[in-house]
């Protein structure tokens, strides 16, 4: 009896002495872990639903080998549809944390077997639309709403935002990313992260770095100069890391100058931690790269989604001394320091109860802030009560977002026809009926929509008689759309980057018929990334680039068409027109004569940097966007570290203006762009005649006046010219300074 009591007491004492995550110092928790517990902490619990991405030809990739199976950890699957889970060690208070995608909202399964309740999330506009708003405050609001859903649905870390640079318009995932410019990308991402994390959950800034194409993404070797890496491909991450302290960073699949990002010590330790001071943890992209020991050593702390093979290899490597225990401890400690902050460790009892209605309003608002009016000869805004002939499938099957991991399981989507009708416009019913029936029939023959595949019907062929019949309406709206997504890039062919012959014919027919009756034609683009719009202005009176605007698409587009909201979005990416004019077009996918290598020969000349420097005309330049009013700029100066300019609404409607500041720096190396964005700001709503003074600091967490030369950041001595501009080609005022 006495012996039993003593034994019981010592068990209790041991339990009391066992450190617990969230209660004791992390180093104590690590010290109390067995080697196996440590190894399992750096490897996620495999999800059998996840499929590894195809690797580049001739590339060996072991991350997806099934392994012996002996070490298969059971995923807790606490939030069905989440992309991954961590390993739990209950005796140390380490829970299985839940990781789920982003970025356009949270992606989890909307339904659960045997459960009546639904688990829908809000589909917000995709990344490119968010950055087109040039409004970090509104983006932060979006982040807060997404973070709230993450929290309330029991997820700990959101796998977003995506901020790879939009190097080429054909990248399949461009819609998830922000811009061809690192400052816009970094500031937008930082605002998003601050918003999400304000809700007590984490983010994963991805894909670090240079994941600029889908072709052969798991193994493509990207040859990039140090200067282009620092000034373009790493710069957005640097701004986001320093400016918002993301809990985690996701390394990318690709190789950079011969080394996988997740095995790249220079990238993950020298740059990210030693130079930028990052103290969160790094996880791989799903099944990323090859060698778990190299990944651990490089500073890639967590392997996702985690395979039994990786556990086998790491255990053997610790045993043989190939993987020093100190390295494993360091990585475990970094992970636990972040997990300490998660809702699961804090014991948050989630109730699956986000306010989806309030978030839908946030989604609609930002959608209107980021749409870009490209052309308007006075056809817009539409007055109320008009009769509209709505052409094009995407008018009836408007797409909120792209496919792949960035898809969101929303409760509904508002299509453009619904949005127009809800705002009191009438549609030509014969035409609408024909489109709706065609789409419904074709879709009934296709597999149901799910995140990986979003089926769309083939474009309905309207007859000349139908166009004629519909021309009794007051105006025509022609919608043109494109779907794209993770796993593949787009092509520079007809029906993708180029308009299809059928789309051109439709535009011509509609324009001819409506114009002969003196009626306007408005084009609405429901696309995630640029297409070649050459000639479209000649066949239309207005062009609205609506991007992929989230689940409130139809309402938000109508808000702009009707003038309920004055458009204020501007392009975060150049619309080049001809694909051959895109500087990376010669080196996209794979470089000529190579199997799995792409050489970034354009170096710094990405997007507007190329067009402004060579003087080549883009169809719509970076930073361009029209409004229903006009703005004049005056009194531009550099005061201390800030650029100051007065903006006046000199037109007839209330509206907001995005002002961009470009700089010409004294060049320390050959091949520098003639001007680069160094700051920007958006005014509040200005009434006609109203002025405001914008005072915009140039230096933030980085100094955009510096350039990469001699292997370091340098502020060159000499004359700097600054411009206050309405776009990269519309320079309004300038001033100079000596540094």
Known catalytic residues are: 285
Q: Is 359 in the site for ligand BGC (CB under 6 A)?
A: no
Choose between 106 and 360: whose C-beta lies nearer to ligand BGC.
Answer: 106
Q: Are 255 and 216 in contact (CB under 8 A)?
A: no
Residue 582 is given by DSSP the state S
Packing angle of the helix pair 136-152, 356-370 (nearest 10 deg): 150
Separation CA 225–CA 237 (nearest Å): 17
Let me know how long the chain is: 739
- Minimal distance, residue 159 CB to ligand BGC, in Å: 4
Per CB under 6 A, contacts with ligand BGC among 246-285 are 285
Shortest reach from residue 285's CB to ligand BGC, in Å: 5
Q: Count CB neighbours of 418 within 10 A.
A: 18
Rounded to whole angstroms, the Cα distance separating 207 from 319 reads 32
Distance separating alpha carbons of residues 495 and 503, to the nearest angstrom: 8
Nearest CA among 235, 123, 130 for reference residue 175: 130
Question: Which residue from 64, 88, 101, 428 is in contact with ligand BGC, where contact means CB under 6 A?
Answer: 101
Which CB, 101 or 489, lies closer to ligand BGC?
Answer: 101
Bridge partner residues of 598 (DSSP): 222
- Look at residue 29 and give its three-state secondary structure: helix
Which x/- pattern, by CB under 6 A, does the window 405-424 give for ligand BGC? x-------------------
Q: How far apart are CA 702 and CA 402, in angstroms?
A: 32
What are residue 660's DSSP bridge partners?
Answer: 680, 725
Q: What are phi and psi of 259, to 5 degrees?
A: -120, 135
Asked whether 158 and 210 are in contact (CB, 8 A), the reply is: no
DSSP 207: E
Minimum CB distance to ligand BGC smaller for 487 or for 549: 487
CB-CB contact of 211 with 286 (8 Å) = no
CB 661 within 8 A of CB 614: no
DSSP state letters, 45-114:
B--TT--PPPBPTT----TT----STTPPPP---STT-SEE---BGGGTB---EEEE-SSS----S--TT
Alpha carbon distances (Å) from 685 to 137, 414, 468: 14, 27, 41
Here the tokens at position 87 are 């390993």
> For residue 290, which of 307, 271, 266 has the smallest C-alpha distance?
307
Q: Which is nearer to ligand BGC, 158 or 571 (CB)?
A: 158
First to last CA, the chain: 84
Distance separating alpha carbons of residues 33 and 16, to the nearest angstrom: 16
Kind plus residue range of the DSSP H or E element containing 386: none
| Residue 184 touching ligand BGC (CB under 6 A) | no
Is-contact 656 684, C-beta < 8 A? yes
How many angstroms separate the CA atoms of 247 and 297, rounded? 20
Q: How far is the CB of 162 from ligand BGC (least distance, A)?
A: 7
Chain mean position to CA 169: 14
Residue 104 CB, shortest distance to ligand BGC, in Å, is 12
Work out the number of other CB atoms within 10 angstroms of the CB of residue 478.
Answer: 26
Say whether the peptide bond before residue 161 is cis (omega within 30 degrees of 0): yes
- Token pair, residue 157, equals 């870390």
Site string for ligand BGC, 369-408 (x = CB under 6 A): ------------------------------------x---
Residues 6+ apart with CB under 8 A from 514: 389, 471, 475, 476, 520, 521
Q: How far is the CB of 406 from ligand BGC (least distance, A)?
A: 7
CA dist 492 and 498 (Å) reads 6
Q: How far is the CB of 550 from ligand BGC (least distance, A)?
A: 19
Nearer to ligand BGC, 83 or 96 (CB): 83
Measured from the CB atom, is 159 or 647 closer to ligand BGC?
159
CB of 50 to ligand BGC, least distance (A): 7
Pick between residue 83 and residue 439 the one whose CB is nearest to ligand BGC.
83
206 binds ligand BGC (CB under 6 A): yes
Closest CA to 475 of 385, 384, 387: 387
CB 364 within 8 A of CB 554: no
Binding mask 36-75 for ligand BGC (x = CB under 6 A): ----------------------------------------
Is 83 a binder of ligand BGC (CB under 6 A)? yes
CA 266 to each of CA 100, 259, 270: distance values in angstroms, whole numbers, following the listed order: 28, 10, 5
* Least Å from the CB of residue 214 to ligand BGC: 9
- Alpha carbons within 13 A on the beta-carbon side of 193: 29
Tokens coding 28: 């104590």
Closest to ligand BGC by CB, 285 vs 602, is: 285
149 or 417: whose CB is closer to ligand BGC?
A: 149
Binding to ligand BGC (CB under 6 A) within 136-165 occurs at: 159
Judged by beta carbon, residue 206 or residue 490, the one nearer ligand BGC is 206
> Cβ of residue 629: shortest distance to ligand BGC, in angstroms?
39
| Residue placing its CB nearer to ligand BGC in the complex, 407 or 628 | 407
How many angstroms separate the CA atoms of 56 and 46, rounded? 23
Closest CB to ligand BGC among residues 37, 285? 285
Among all chains, which residue has been given the structure tokens 């870009």? Answer: 372
Site for ligand BGC in 479-508 (CB under 6 A): none
286 binds ligand BGC (CB under 6 A): yes
* Least distance to ligand BGC, CB of residue 101, Å: 5
The minimum distance between CB 46 and ligand BGC, in angstroms, equals 13
Q: How far apart are CA 290 and CA 296, in angstroms?
A: 11
Kindly list the residues in this chain that would bind ligand BGC in the complex (CB under 6 A): 83, 101, 159, 206, 285-286, 405
């Amino acid at each position: 009896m006495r012996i039993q009591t003593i034994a019981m007491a010592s068990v209790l004492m041991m339990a009391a002495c066992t450190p617990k995550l969230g209660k004791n110092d992390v180093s104590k928790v690590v010290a109390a872990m067995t080697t196996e517990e440590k190894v399992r902490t750096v490897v996620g619990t495999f999800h059998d639903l996840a499929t590894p991405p195809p690797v580049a030809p001739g590339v060996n990739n072991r991350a997806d080998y099934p392994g012996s199976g002996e070490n298969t950890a059971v995923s807790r699957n606490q939030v069905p549809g989440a992309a991954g889970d961590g390993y739990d060690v209950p005796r140390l208070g380490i829970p299985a944390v839940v990781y789920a995608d982003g970025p356009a909202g949270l992606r989890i399964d909307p339904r659960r077997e045997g459960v009546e309740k639904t688990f829908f999330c809000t589909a917000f506009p995709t990344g490119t639309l968010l950055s087109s708003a040039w409004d970090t405050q509104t983006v932060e609001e979006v982040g807060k709403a997404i973070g709230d859903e993450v929290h309330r649905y029991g997820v700990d870390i959101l796998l977003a935002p995506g901020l790879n640079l939009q190097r080429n318009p054909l990248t399949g995932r461009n819609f998830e990313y922000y811009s061809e410019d690192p400052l816009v990308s970094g500031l937008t991402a930082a605002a998003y992260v601050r918003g999400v994390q304000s809700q007590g959950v984490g983010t994963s800034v991805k894909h670090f770095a240079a994941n600029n194409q889908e072709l052969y993404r798991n193994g493509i070797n990207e040859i990039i100069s140090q200067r282009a890496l620092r000034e373009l491909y790493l710069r957005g991450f640097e701004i986001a890391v320093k400016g918002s302290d993301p809990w985690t960073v996701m390394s990318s699949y690709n190789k950079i100058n011969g080394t996988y990002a997740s095995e790249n010590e220079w990238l993950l330790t020298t740059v990210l931690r030693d130079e930028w001071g990052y103290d969160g943890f790094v996880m791989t992209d799903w099944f990323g790269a090859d060698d778990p020991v190299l990944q651990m050593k490089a500073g890639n702390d967590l392997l996702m989604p985690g395979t039994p093979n990786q556990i086998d290899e790491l255990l053997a490597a610790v045993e043989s001394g190939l993987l020093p225990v100190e390295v494993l401890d360091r990585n475990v400690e970094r992970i636990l320091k972040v997990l300490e902050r998660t809702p699961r460790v804090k014991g948050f009892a989630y109730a699956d109860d986000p306010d989806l209605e309030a978030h839908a309003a946030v989604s609609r608002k930002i959608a209107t802030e980021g749409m870009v009016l490209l052309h308007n000869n006075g056809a817009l805004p539409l007055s109320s009560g008009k009769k509209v002939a709505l052409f094009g499938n995407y008018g009836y099957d408007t797409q909120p977002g792209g496919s792949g991991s960035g898809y969101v399981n929303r409760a509904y989507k508002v299509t453009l026809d619904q949005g127009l009708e809800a705002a009191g416009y009438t549609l030509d019913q014969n035409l609408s009926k024909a489109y709706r029936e065609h789409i419904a029939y074709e879709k009934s023959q296709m597999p149901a929509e799910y995140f990986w595949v979003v089926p769309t019907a083939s474009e309905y062929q309207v007859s000349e008689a139908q166009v004629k019949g519909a021309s009794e309406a007051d105006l025509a709206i022609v919608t043109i759309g494109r779907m794209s997504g993770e796993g593949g890039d787009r092509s520079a062919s007809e029906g993708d980057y180029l308009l299809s012959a059928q789309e051109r014919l439709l535009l011509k027919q509609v324009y001819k018929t409506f114009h002969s009756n003196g009626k306007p034609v408005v084009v609405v683009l429901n696309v995630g990334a640029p297409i070649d719009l050459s000639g479209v202005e000649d066949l239309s009176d207005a062009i609205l680039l609506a991007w992929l605007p989230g689940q409130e698409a139809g309402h938000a587009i109508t808000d702009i068409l009707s003038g309920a909201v004055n458009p204020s979005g501007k392009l975060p990416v150049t619309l080049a027109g001809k694909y051959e004019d895109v500087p990376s077009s010669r080196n996209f996918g794979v470089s000529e004569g190579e199997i799995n290598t792409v050489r970034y020969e354009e170096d710094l000349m990405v997007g507007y940097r190329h067009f402004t420097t060579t003087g080549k005309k883009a169809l719509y330049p970076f930073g361009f966007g029209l409004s229903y009013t006009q703005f004049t700029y005056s009194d531009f100066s550099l005061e201390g570290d800030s650029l100051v300019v007065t903006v006046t609404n000199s037109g007839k409607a209330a509206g907001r203006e995005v002002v961009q500041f470009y700089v010409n720096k004294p060049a320390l190396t050959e091949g520098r762009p003639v001007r680069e964005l160094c700051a920007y700001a958006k005014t509040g709503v200005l009434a006609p005649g109203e002025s405001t003074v914008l005072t915009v600091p140039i230096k933030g967490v980085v100094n955009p006046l510096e350039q990469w030369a001699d292997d370091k950041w340098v502020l060159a001595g000499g004359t700097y010219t600054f411009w206050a501009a309405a776009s990269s080609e519309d320079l309004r005022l300038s001033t100079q300074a000596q540094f």
